[in-house]
Amino acid sequence: MAIPFIDLGVQRERIGAKIEANVLKVIKHGAYIMGPEVKTFEANMAAFAGAKHCLSCANGTDAIELILLGLGIGDGDAVFVPAFTFVATAEVVPMTGAEPVFVDIQGDTYNIDPVKLDAAIASVAAEGRLKPAAIIAVDLFGQAADYPALAEVARKHGLPLICDSAQGFGCTIDDRQPLEWCVATATSFYPAKPLGCYGDGGAVVTNDDALMEKMISFRVHGGATPTDVATMNFEHEAKYLNVRVGMNSRLDTIQAAVLIEKLEIFGEEIELRQKVAARYNELLAGKVKSVPFVKDGYVSTWAQYTIEHDNRDGLQAHLRTLGVPSAVYYPIPLHQQPGYSMYTAGGWDLSVSEAKSKTVISLPFSPYLDEATQDQIVAAVTSFNG
């Protein structure tokens, strides 16, 4: 039997009956948009995150954009993002009229480098063409960025710090989630994520009441908030008073029904992920260029298990011949992508991002990866002599 890159089958066997019952309930009650399961899931998600609020939406990309819109990011603003991440992190910035400023990463964690971030902000401010406006840190491959250090940089420059935890929701630093340092955390429920639904979905968690109210408005066509209605004396449905230009980004009720059950076992699955990753590290240490490094006190959700190899492309071809799938995240850093090469503000060295893009390769991973399959994967990796 072929080895899946991310095996969702075991989880489906475990909770599939409950999910099917929840989905059937939605089909029967007919509230397919913003139904009661959405509110239930948002409450459960906020509780898991230790947050006052959770706003679900259509996908993780919209989740980041909703935060930027809620903060009033727009024309003439600079938003600082890592150069080594999925394009969605940078993609939403021009959508608001702002410009992304690419910052290099730390070589051990692949996350944005606080020292280089500080320098990039100072450079943009000195240049004067753009106004530093926000920082988006990414929890790449599941490990939290260095939020204590990043928060110091954010405070120094008076900028909001945003967490893009599409890959890392549930990760912690000394048992504290990124929201402890950030104005808001965005995440994705794409099926392959550690907490995924059966389609597209996303969410924002925050403790900021004013930001939450704005995001609620932007999520559904810029409809009036309670504050808007009170100040404008509007007596009809708030959705027909469009105070701002918004979007249409709602989580389907059926996806919320799926996520309610998945969130119930998510904490346990994070623990299972630690065991699988630790065993990989034990078996592969010293046999590849590097195995993943997790900082002391940090707990990763292991969205991917990513090693490095000097002949990455050769290894990937070798694994393919043995029936072992793999993935390369990300072969082209964002500042070198054709659609983003015009964004050169900051002008800083991005050589770590460039170097890592040539050596990283991710292996099959799930919380339910059995030892026999893992041994087969490790044997395939270590049999490569290129």
* Gap between the Cα atoms of 68 and 62, Å rounded: 10
Identify whether the C-beta of residue 139 lies closer than 8 Å to the C-beta of residue 168. Answer: yes
Closest CA to 226 of 212, 208, 205: 212
Identify whether the C-beta of residue 201 lies closer than 8 Å to the C-beta of residue 251. Answer: yes
Peptide bond into 330 cis (omega under 30): yes
* Gap between the Cα atoms of 292 and 49, Å rounded: 25
Closest CA to 131 of 151, 102, 101, 108: 101
Identify whether the C-beta of residue 103 lies closer than 8 Å to the C-beta of residue 352. Answer: no
Classified as helix, coil or strand, 164 is strand
Between helix 147-157 and helix 114-127 the angle, nearest 10°, is 20
* Gap between the Cα atoms of 242 and 221, Å rounded: 7
| Selected catalytic residue, list 28, 116, 131, 193 | 193
Token output for 346: 């900051």
Kindly tell me the sign of the dihedral angle through the C-alpha atoms of 277, 278, 284, 286: positive
What backbone torsions phi and psi does residue 73 show, to the nearest 5 degrees?
A: -70, 135
Closest CA to 17 of 340, 258, 251: 258
Identify whether the C-beta of residue 163 lies closer than 8 Å to the C-beta of residue 182. Answer: yes
Classified as helix, coil or strand, 72 is coil
**Is 193 part of the annotated catalytic residue set?**
yes
Closest CA to 179 of 210, 213, 145: 145
Residues designated catalytic? 193
